Structure 1
Amino acid sequence: MRPEEIGSLNNLVEALHRNAVGRGGEGALHRKVGGRWEAVSYGELYGMVRDFAAGLGGLGVGRGERVGLIARNRVEWPVTDFAVQSLGAATVPVYPTLEPEQIAHILADCEARVVVVEDEELLGRVSSVREELPALEHVILMEGEGATPFGEVLRAGRERPLEGWEEGWRSLGREDVATIIYTSGTTGRPKGAVLTHGNILSNLEGIQDALTVHPEDVFLSFLPLSHVFERTCGQFLALAVGASVYYAESVEKVPENLREVRPTVMPSVPRLYEKMHDRVRAMVAGGSSVKRWLFGRALAAGKRRYEVMDRGGRPGVLLRAELALYDRLVFRRLREAVGGRVRFFVSGGAKLDAEVGKFFYAAGIRIMEGYGLTETSPVIACNRLEKPRFGTVGLPLSNLEVRISSEGEIQVRGPSVMRGYFRDERSTGEAFTQDGFFRTGDIGSFDEDGYLTVTDRLKSIIVLSTGKNVAPQPIESALVTAPHISQAVVVGEGRKYVSVLVVPDYAAVRKTLGVGGTDEELSGDGRVQRLIEREVEEATRGFADYERPKKVALLPRELSQEAGELTPTLKVKTRVVQRRYGGYIERLYA
């Protein structure tokens, strides 16, 4: 579907309907059942949406209502999403990793009358705060017992079709609300960003113009659909163009699923690419001297190709011959490890280190970094296949205006920018300039070719006691590319110098130093401390002296979502980490 075809759509349900008519027998969604991938065709998906919508209508869901959705990625997710929207209601996605009180805040704030949950464990969380949800009338359960079964609602809708349903969704326009997404963020209480059908469709138009997706494309979906990045790119865009979506079994199974599914497109976050990068480097380091030499030469040749292309040139005959040889000897195996037919990966949600992007580009795996926010549906800018520029988030989408304020803030205006925050006029007013630009809260700049670089969040800037301002994100991104560093959090607000909390890659440390012991024991080992300090010094060599961490503290375990230290897109919740490891920080400055 071309951008202008998306532009002719009035709502998101219409996009699905077009493919149900034109590609009804083609696979839309795929899930693994009993060790085998099963397909749900576009025709079957549309039928499930129709039936579930009728079932929801029987429960009183209609225009202007809000329906909560708490589940991991699975077929029932888009079925619920499209069904709710087809009734003129708004889907309110909730991360399944949230605690009961966080779930209560979202469901109470949007006054959801119905909530659809995945399993008994999530049902228990909702039930534990039921007294705080006076508007909630019905809970629908995808699997398990204890609430109205999903299958029962589906069956009821099939047996009692909703009269005028198709006419109803056809009457929906771009100005109608499609979803309310509560910003996860790393600070503050979540606010509900109100996105219309037109907001999301406009974003699809801009994305399709920048990074064209085809019906033949195959997506592997593993980022949470509760996040706007995966939902817009991995659900709405994929299903609008008639592509195939495969739901990964789990984050741990992604490497295996990559080889099975052989996707052509996959949205992800930098953390995945960093881990892939580290695994390849570790394998190379453990190989023979000849293999290390060959890989080094191949990588250098690939990076030379990128530099030539970035300058607007074309590789010469000798470089092309060299690349062909190294591709056959080195890089083909690396591409096969991710399925062998990836057209491009997409990176969003946090900063991708430029060296990681160049590393995979050299191997023939293109990672297109982009940038956006929940409030902008989400994509604001992205790199293009024909000329990516690593270290930037690419060029703004063609249907958006993007500017840098006098304070250095990125501001955006256009059809994919949210209507406002749900029932929060004050926050909405503060989020926009007088001339209608949305304040992103991010610091950035344009280069001479119009490529946008995002430095950090305005609120994340560390102000030293010397008056110097330090943006922690570029430093942290550089640190996690080091062979023995898994995670890094730069600290130093109000201090004379910056320091860093580091979670070492303890498996790599054991291999390099030839030592044993638990992670906690190694975090107190002087040899590990010296190794990490050397890597911190080396990784930050290109930064100004006041930006380079002067002291390093080793944390005994990986920061995680389960412990409340990472957002669902694996960004560090800096305030949580600083509170939790306050003693470590104080000792750094003692």
Structure 2
Amino acid sequence: MQQEAGIRLSDSVKDIPNLVQALFRNVERRPEKTALAYKAGGGWREISYRELGERVERFAAGMAALGVERGDRMALMSANRPEWAISDYAIQSLGAATVPIYPTLEPHQIEHILEDSEARAVIVENEELLRRVREVQEDFPVVVMDDAFTGENEKTLRFESVYRSGEERPKEDWREVWGGIGRDEVATILYTSGTTGAPKGVILTHDNILSNIEGIVEAVPLRPEDVFLSLLPLSHIFERTAGQFVALTLGCSIYYAESIEKVPENLREVRPTVVPSVPRLYEKMYDRVQQRLSQGPALRRKLAAAAIAAGREKYRLRLRGREPGAWLRFKLGLFERLVFNKIREATGGRLRFFVSGGAKLEAEIGEFFYAAGVPILEGYGLTETSPVISCNRLGREKFGTVGLPLFNVEVRIGEHGEIQTRGPHVMRGYFNLPEETEAAFTEDGWFKTGDIGEIDDEGYLKITDRLKNLIVLSTGKNVAPQPIETKLVTMPHISQAVLLGDGRKYVSALIVPDYEAVRNRLATDAAPAELAEDERVRELIQKDIDTACAEFADYERPKKFALLAREFSQEEGELTPTLKVKMRVVQERYAGQIERLYAGS
């Protein structure tokens, strides 16, 4: 485990009473080091720990002058930017709780969270988000981050105005206030985005999150020198814990990606050492690499295939506790110069590892990046568990699993194969929902995750599916869609896949082709809508389905499929912020296509 001044990092976290103290320890130890950075005017602007601490203090004083105090709730709705972290820590420093709201939510969803959480006010990024709030809450207090905003009034303040107010009127007892916040106090209430049902407010304490940080730094070799690229929404607990709280507790630097589209460019500019993300990013990277290799000269394709095969051979030897022989070591050294270093250069050249969470990572993708010297550490957890329950360890990865439980986390397999967990990482409960809170736990106090899984003989946890996701065919057969969908999206011409069939005779699928790959294969510039009706495309997709599903039982394989002309998206309400498919929305939107798949059956 990495050391800092002779102390294990996990042990040093145990002494911290709250998340604000965790930040200010580094304000004192590393005042001039870069804490946050963002892109502006064509370059990266950096904020030191000292400056971050000053901004948090001034904004907190400004909010205190507006009446925010211990026990309040403050909503926060913005894309990732420095003001997000400043607001989050400032809110908590007053003994209040941060209530994140995804900036992609619709007005009625925003209204539900503001009312249900009993938020005192909401901090929003820009006028567009202000407009959404005002559609449902005309007089609700709002603070707007964007410097360009000019419509300030009694109920709508500029972030800068609140900040300047705190600068002019410091809160004299501020350090005493946050110094007195205990681990058992509420740090945040997060509303589960969910693929079904109304969002519920998950109450997490400072101890929940700090205990999770302890477990993470015991399992993963993080160090203060690490540079994080932040690209998942901070509104989600995965990025908030793994990409913000862990980084700023250990004294690392965080660079905010400009957008998902700009990630490839930002990777090369920032040259991060750690990047937390969801499997969708790695699937797209994998597809692009495979596509470029398929278009290259025959010799290059053979060389790349041989290099990946050698890397996978090394991984499989390691699983059996064996080291590569002389011939394999020679090949790996050769491929390192000719193939692997080019893949790593695309990530900036100094990436130590990716972190994957939020959904299942296909083992094939994990093995591919391992072979290229870009390891992916897949983990597992939920909002209710702060979030990490388990994760793979660097050098001990077992792809197809979500690794070993954290040292301070208990895991067991309960009734119906459900994964259950117990420990300091588990939420206090759902806000104002005592019955739902009680239903989330077993009689003996274990949290019910709702996921189906198993623990292998080495203690590694494997996720099979969600209990609610199981497809029960009219024949009585049960189908777990997640492993099949995950396998399908690794195919060269498939971008997204959703399995259907609950209550039906057979499984079918909605497929979004990878239209760029399809165009290249068919040497055409046709639009997606036209390609979705092209029989040649159907033949390509059918071959991909046959290949992907060869390992599954006959009743698990899609018998029919429909091609969609565009990808599922958050903007259309079909994906959660962590890119999980909202089945109810998709089934309603594509009801016609689905019924045609079962016509006459």
- Please say whether Structure 1 and Structure 2 have the same fold, judged by a TM-score greater than 0.5: yes
| Residues 83, 145 of structure 2: 8 Å contact kept | no
Aligned partner of 1:145 among 141, 145, 150: 150
Aligned partner of 2:21 among 7, 14, 21: 14
Equivalent position amino acid for 1:464 in 2: L
Q: Give the C-alpha shift of residue 140 in structure 1.
A: 4.0
Equivalent position amino acid for 2:150 in 1: E
Q: Distance in 2 between matches of 1:107 and 1:429?
A: 24
Q: Distance in 2 between matches of 1:138 and 1:532?
A: 49
TM-score, length-scaled by structure 2: 0.97
1:77 aligns with 2:84: yes
1:584 aligns with 2:593: yes
Query: What is the match of residue 358 of structure 2?
Result: 349
Query: What is the match of residue 512 of structure 1?
Result: 521
Query: What is the match of residue 345 of structure 2?
Result: 336
Q: Distance in 2 between matches of 1:314 and 1:385?
A: 16
Aligned partner of 2:247 among 238, 251, 256: 238
Q: Equivalent residues in 2 for 1:441-456 (5 A)? A: 441-456=450-465
1:467-512, CA deviations, whole angstroms, 9 ceiling, x for partnerless residues? Answer: 1110101000000000000000000011111011100011111110
Q: Distance in 1 between matches of 2:243 and 2:218?
A: 16
| Residues 75, 121 of structure 2: 8 Å contact kept | yes
Query: What is the match of residue 159 of structure 1?
Result: 168
- Structure 1, unmatched stretches of 5+, are none
1:399 is paired with a residue whose SS is coil
Q: Distance in 1 between matches of 2:560 and 2:216?
A: 43
Q: Give the C-alpha shift of residue 139 in structure 1.
A: 3.6
Equivalent position amino acid for 1:471 in 2: A
Q: Give the C-alpha shift of residue 137 in structure 1.
A: 3.6
1:263 aligns with 2:268: no
Q: Equivalent residues in 2 for 1:463-478 (5 A)? A: 463-478=472-487
1:286 aligns with 2:291: no
Q: Distance in 2 between matches of 1:8 and 1:464?
A: 53
Query: What is the match of residue 72 of structure 2?
Result: 65
Q: Distance in 2 between matches of 1:538 and 1:137?
A: 56
Query: What is the match of residue 130 of structure 1?
Result: 137
Aligned partner of 1:251 among 260, 265, 268: 260
**552-561 or 375-384, larger mean C-alpha shift:** 552-561
Equivalent position amino acid for 2:411 in 1: V
Query: What is the match of residue 211 of structure 2?
Result: 202
Aligned partner of 1:213 among 188, 212, 222: 222
Q: Where does structure 1 differ by over 6 angstroms across 4 or more consecutive aligned residues?
A: none
Q: Distance in 2 between matches of 1:4 and 1:435?
A: 29
Query: What is the match of residue 299 of structure 1?
Result: 308
Q: Give the C-alpha shift of residue 142 in structure 1.
A: 3.6
Query: What is the match of residue 323 of structure 1?
Result: 332
Query: What is the match of residue 502 of structure 2?
Result: 493
Q: Distance in 2 between matches of 1:301 and 1:289?
A: 18
Q: Give the C-alpha shift of residue 313 in structure 1.
A: 1.6
**512-521 or 276-285, larger mean C-alpha shift:** 512-521
TM-score, length-scaled by structure 1: 0.98
1:411 is paired with a residue whose SS is strand
Equivalent position amino acid for 1:461 in 2: L
Equivalent residues, number: 587
Equivalent position amino acid for 1:26 in 2: K
| Residues 126, 144 of structure 2: 8 Å contact kept | no
1:370 is paired with a residue whose SS is strand
Q: Distance in 2 between matches of 1:163 and 1:345?
A: 42
Aligned partner of 1:33 among 40, 43, 46: 40
| Residues 179, 195 of structure 1: 8 Å contact kept | yes
Query: What is the match of residue 55 of structure 2?
Result: 48
Query: What is the match of residue 110 of structure 2?
Result: 103
Q: Equivalent residues in 2 for 1:568-583 (5 A)? A: 568-583=577-592
Query: What is the match of residue 4 of structure 1?
Result: 11
Q: Give the C-alpha shift of residue 518 in structure 1.
A: 1.2
When the two chains are superposed, the root-mean-square deviation of aligned CA atoms in Å is: 0.9
| Residues 410, 444 of structure 1: 8 Å contact kept | yes
1:271-294, CA deviations, whole angstroms, 9 ceiling, x for partnerless residues? Answer: 000000000000000001100111
2:416 is paired with a residue whose SS is coil
Equivalent position amino acid for 1:159 in 2: E
Query: What is the match of residue 283 of structure 2?
Result: 274
| Residues 127, 144 of structure 2: 8 Å contact kept | no
1:85-131, CA deviations, whole angstroms, 9 ceiling, x for partnerless residues? Answer: 00000000000000000000001101111110000000000011115
Equivalent position amino acid for 1:312 in 2: G
| Residues 113, 138 of structure 1: 8 Å contact kept | no
Equivalent position amino acid for 2:203 in 1: V
Q: Give the C-alpha shift of residue 315 in structure 1.
A: 1.4
Aligned partner of 1:120 among 91, 110, 127: 127
Q: Give the C-alpha shift of residue 365 in structure 1.
A: 0.5
Q: Distance in 2 between matches of 1:73 and 1:441?
A: 29
Q: Distance in 2 between matches of 1:177 and 1:370?
A: 25
Over 3 Å counting, the alpha-carbon distance change for 1:198 and 1:567 in structure 2 is same
Q: Distance in 2 between matches of 1:492 and 1:14?
A: 51
Q: Distance in 2 between matches of 1:243 and 1:533?
A: 47
1:128-181, CA deviations, whole angstroms, 9 ceiling, x for partnerless residues? Answer: 1115xx8x4444444313321101111110110012110010100100000000
Q: Distance in 2 between matches of 1:141 and 1:104?
A: 20
Q: Give the C-alpha shift of residue 560 in structure 1.
A: 0.7
Over 3 Å counting, the alpha-carbon distance change for 1:517 and 1:138 in structure 2 is closer
Q: Give the C-alpha shift of residue 513 in structure 1.
A: 1.4
Q: Distance in 2 between matches of 1:205 and 1:314?
A: 32
| Residues 76, 142 of structure 1: 8 Å contact kept | no
Q: Give the C-alpha shift of residue 515 in structure 1.
A: 2.6
**355-364 or 551-560, larger mean C-alpha shift:** 551-560
Give percent identity, aligned residues only: 62
Q: Distance in 2 between matches of 1:517 and 1:139?
A: 46
Q: Equivalent residues in 2 for 1:550-561 (5 A)? A: 550-561=559-570
Equivalent position amino acid for 2:43 in 1: R
- Structure 2, unmatched stretches of 5+, are none
